[in-house]
Structure 1
Amino acid sequence: KYIFLFLSPQAQICNYASVRRTSVRYYTAEKNVTCKNCSRPGHLSKNCPGPKKIPPCCLCAERGHLQNTCPARFCLNCCLPGHYFRECLERAYWNKHCSRCDMKGHYADACPEIWRQYHLTTKPGPIKAASSHSEQSAVVYCYNCSRKGHFGYECLEKRMHGSMFPTSPFIHYYDDECNIKRRANRLKRKIAELQEAGLLPLQSEIPW
């Protein structure tokens, strides 16, 4: 004898007969859509009867100009706003040599050591200098080639990122008050030179 089991619709995993699939791929007149151009419902931006909205600049979020003419455009060579690499008056960064840390890729006035020298300073006043370099760990690994025995900035292998130059992890020189003032004056002269050449906007033209 055979026993037949009849499962009710409630006992089934899925009752496909009761599912009605509606198309959600295309817009229809019954759907509530909002125009991204005028923010009004009932139509898409490509069918908007109003004037096209001017897109904002991706750098400063202001309207009326785009990235190429933005006053906030940034130079990757001298790290100053107002112009691009191809317009920069300085030599290319791969030809720069720092007289402060003896590394390539930047000049002394843009050396990372300028802000890294404050690693021990916690109060206003003169910069607190370290007595000497911290003792090198017995196990040192290179971040560039992953080998043991040297730091990444000492590595002679090809760099992972060819457009980037390594920097020393140690502080070679601590500035005093006189050095800080001299560097500030040099930066002021450089800013005036770039503004005169039209490569750096005046303070009133900067959007922030």
Structure 2
Amino acid sequence: MSDVPDMSPEEAWEMLKKADAERDLDDFRKAVPIYVKAVPGTTLNQLEQGFRDSDFAVHLIALEKEVSLTHTIVNLQGKIDCKYVVGFYFSAKPKRAKFADGWPASPEENIERLADAGYVMDRMVPKCINCRELGHLSKSCPNERVEHERVVVMCYNCNEQGHRARDCTQPRVDKFACRNCKQSGHKSSDCPEPRSAEGVECKRCNEMGHFAKDCPTGGSSACHNCGEEDHKSKECDKPRNMDLVTCRNCDNTGHLSKDCPEPKNWSKVTCSNCGENGHTHRRCVKPAAEADDGPGGGATNEGIGGEGDWEEGGTATGGGAGWESADAAPAASTSDW
């Protein structure tokens, strides 16, 4: 701790109090080793108990976390291979679901864990890239040479393997260009050109190149809710006729996809990021594209029953009731725990 400033215990404690009052975690982390140097032998569980007795806002939390082979967990006294990783938080309880795993169940358990907690540090031991073991390099590895699978390089510009976009010889493609006129500089929602049907799939006949309103096969204009001809579904005040509902998951009538008894049909799920079937944008391995809510963009049939339900005549909804594309669209919703 030669690089840690020398202070008296009172000065170091005042530094902790000041950082806590200002809710500055960086300064608080820096003050902890200064106090430990001023009061040798101080442990993390003793510090946490002192912070609670002084009504500090900062909590020391002992978390269950996996560390790599090349790293270890070291406590304030230099003991290696501790079990828990110490973290600094403004609450004794996790604020987000992703922090809940590995969090102590109670303050009492946290104090017990802190007795075997510390900071993650590099072991400073070489790791062989051939056998993945510690203690030697690959050039002196006693084991047989292992052929590891190489990562395939994919060009983002032309989608071919073997080179990166920076080395691509093909003309540069603007993947964020307007989907209507294919020009750069604006989104399709702001496009000054007439709306193009190129690349558009008709919702009536499923053929490409025209909109449903221009479909040459015609189609029924009846209400999708009750089946009568004199009004649209958004104007309908009658109970929904479930015999008119076609499940987007199994193609059978009489129920919504969120109530479908069949396993989810991923072949009908279209990724809103890459446009391919079989996965949602959350599982897409390709770089995220800029959102575009104009022609050809916007809502997709992504996420049957899991990330939104979608029924006959419409696209994804959050409520499962479905909606007709010619009548109304649902409002977007988000949630955060």
Normalised by the size of structure 1, how large is the TM-score? 0.28
Higher share of residues assigned strand:
2
Normalised by the size of structure 2, how large is the TM-score? 0.20
